Amino acid sequence: MNISTMISKSRRVSILGSAAMVVSLVVPMTFSSAPAGAATSPGSWCGSKHASVALADGFGNNTWRELTRYSGALTALSCPSVTKFIYTNGQGSTQKAISDINGLVSQGINAIVDFPDAGAAMLPALTKAYKAGTIVVPYRVTPGGKAGTNYTAYIGTNFVSAGVEWGKFVANALGAKGGNIAFLSGPPGNSQGLQELQGMKSVLKAYPKIKLVGTSPFNVTNWDPATTVTVIDGLLAKNTGANAIKAVVSDYGSALAGAFPEWAKAGQKIPVIATEDGNNVACAWKSGVAKDPAFKLMTVSSQTWMVEYAVRYAVAKATGGVLPPTTVPQATYENSVNPTGKEIAPNCQSSLPATAINSSGLTNSQQLAALAGKVPQRK
């Protein structure tokens, strides 16, 4: 196995025993059995033709990406026809992410699954790869363009519906009195945040006293925990007293929970929270509600498992398997106020680290391995 390494600015992550953040990870598939655990039983999407597959992240330096990297590799490994799996991390640099795509094409990789963090800036590189004959499957954040013209297929989800669910929860929690709310998303202009905002606004337009504050269209965090803390500090400083923030909506819950202590520093209570799930989110609610029974939390699934859909599609296309759907359903997950049949009370797992994501579909041991920076291998 060849590993090119680079030290992350934020922390070190162990990759199969090394102490560096992965930039390019190659896992040769030379054994007949697949690793035990989730996503190990291939379905009709796994064809008979041999193929090499890559997962390319524009930014891989957070726990969501550690879990998706693990799930993506596990899914690829479950298909015996996949002969090589490569992971690349753009480290938040658009130029490096573009270079990674070009490098994968030059290596002759048959199929690339890409999280295009930089959005439309990635489209020329993805189009070039597609025109060169590589199967290209962007997922979750759209780079623009069209399937069949710029890339093979786009694996998406209905982010508008997530925004609708968040909007309903916030509106019900704040009621007629309304108040200031803040919405946090990733890089500027990312399609996920814009679609979620569309969904929220479709609900909140009926509540004129609920006001979005901060940067428009959303407060930019780049899905980075440290940046999230900085953004929250700025919002708390500018919104005080009667204008204090009454609710925060964020599409990266684990990063938001890392900023919860900032409210105490500002002498304020944590407001209504609507976000994606994370173990630290649920555990923060569990400890916080004991001090403040009015603390309200609602989450949708963080969908780390969405990468499995994208990998299955890419593998199916490359190996001659049956193509799976290109749209992944949204799923509400936790609701502290009124959990229903499709939702549960906040799910704090004390046996797992704060960075775990409990809707991931991975076993506890798999989550621990992923969060230690490891990737599965055939044995």
**Residue 28 vs residue 187, higher pLDDT:** 187
Average pLDDT across the chain, whole number? 89
- 12 and 124 share one domain: yes
Band of residue 196 on the pLDDT scale cut at 50, 70, 90: very high
**Residue 338 vs residue 280, higher pLDDT:** 280
- 123 and 31 share one domain: yes
Band of residue 19 on the pLDDT scale cut at 50, 70, 90: very low
Q: Is residue 365 part of a domain?
A: yes
- Boundary-marking domain end, from 252, 280, 300: 300
Query: What type of residue is 240?
Result: T
What is this structure's pTM? Answer: 0.84
Q: Is residue 294 part of a domain?
A: yes
Band of residue 18 on the pLDDT scale cut at 50, 70, 90: very low
Q: Please, are residues 359 and 301 in contact by the beta-carbon 8 Å criterion?
A: yes
- Boundary-marking domain end, from 250, 284, 300: 300
- Boundary-marking domain end, from 250, 285, 300: 300
- 206 and 281 share one domain: yes
Q: Is residue 178 part of a domain?
A: yes
Q: 21-28 and 3-6: which strand pairing?
A: antiparallel
Band of residue 9 on the pLDDT scale cut at 50, 70, 90: very low
Domain count of the fold of the chain: 2
* Predicted pLDDT of residue 72: 97
- 164 and 62 share one domain: no
- 166 and 257 share one domain: yes
Q: Please determine, for residue 45, whether its predicted confidence score (pLDDT) is greater than 70.
A: yes
Q: Is residue 339 part of a domain?
A: no
Task: Specify the range with the lowest mean pLDDT, choosing from 32-36, 155-159, 263-267.
Answer: 32-36
Each as own residue / partner, the long-range contacts of residues 141-145 (CB below 8 Å, 24 or more positions apart, any chain) are: 141/115, 141/116, 141/117, 141/186, 141/190, 141/191, 141/192, 142/116, 142/191, 143/114, 143/116, 143/119, 144/119, 144/120
Mean pLDDT value of segment 251-280: 96
- 168 and 295 share one domain: yes
- 241 and 173 share one domain: yes
Dihedral in degrees, nearest 10, Cα atoms 307, 311, 314, 319: -170
| Domain CATH code at residue 262 | 3.40.50.2300
pLDDT in tens, 266-323: 999 999 999 999 999 999 999 999 999 999 999 999 999 999 999 999 999 999 999 9
- 124 and 177 share one domain: no
Q: Is residue 127 part of a domain?
A: yes
* Predicted pLDDT of residue 379: 65
- 9 and 150 share one domain: yes
- 228 and 150 share one domain: no
Q: Please determine, for residue 49, whether its predicted confidence score (pLDDT) is greater than 80.
A: yes
Q: Please determine, for residue 326, whether its predicted confidence score (pLDDT) is greater than 50.
A: yes
Name residues whose C-beta falls within 8 Å of residue 119's C-beta, 6 or more positions apart in sequence. Answer: 141, 142, 143, 144, 187, 189, 190, 191
Q: Is residue 263 part of a domain?
A: yes
Q: How far is CA 135 from CA 47, 117, 129, in A?
A: 15, 19, 8
- 147 and 282 share one domain: no
Q: How far is CA 186 from CA 191, 220, 221, 228, 230, in A?
A: 10, 6, 5, 9, 14
- 122 and 163 share one domain: no
* Predicted pLDDT of residue 24: 58
Q: Please, are residues 361 and 71 in contact by the beta-carbon 8 Å criterion?
A: yes
Mean pLDDT value of segment 195-205: 98
pLDDT in tens, 58-91: 999 999 999 999 999 999 999 999 999 999 999 9
For residue 294, give both structure tokens.
């009015």
* Predicted pLDDT of residue 14: 27
Q: Which domain holds residue 325?
A: 3-154+303-330+358-371
For a pLDDT cut of 90, what percent of the chain falls above it? 84
End-to-end, the C-alpha distance of the chain in Å comes to: 14
* Predicted pLDDT of residue 320: 98
Q: Please determine, for residue 121, whether its predicted confidence score (pLDDT) is greater than 70.
A: yes
Q: Is residue 350 part of a domain?
A: no
Q: Please determine, for residue 1, whether its predicted confidence score (pLDDT) is greater than 50.
A: no
pLDDT in tens, 210-228: 999 999 999 999 999 999 9
For residue 129, give both structure tokens.
């790869």
pLDDT in tens, 24-35: 566 544 332 333
Q: Is residue 237 part of a domain?
A: yes
For residue 27, give both structure tokens.
């896992």
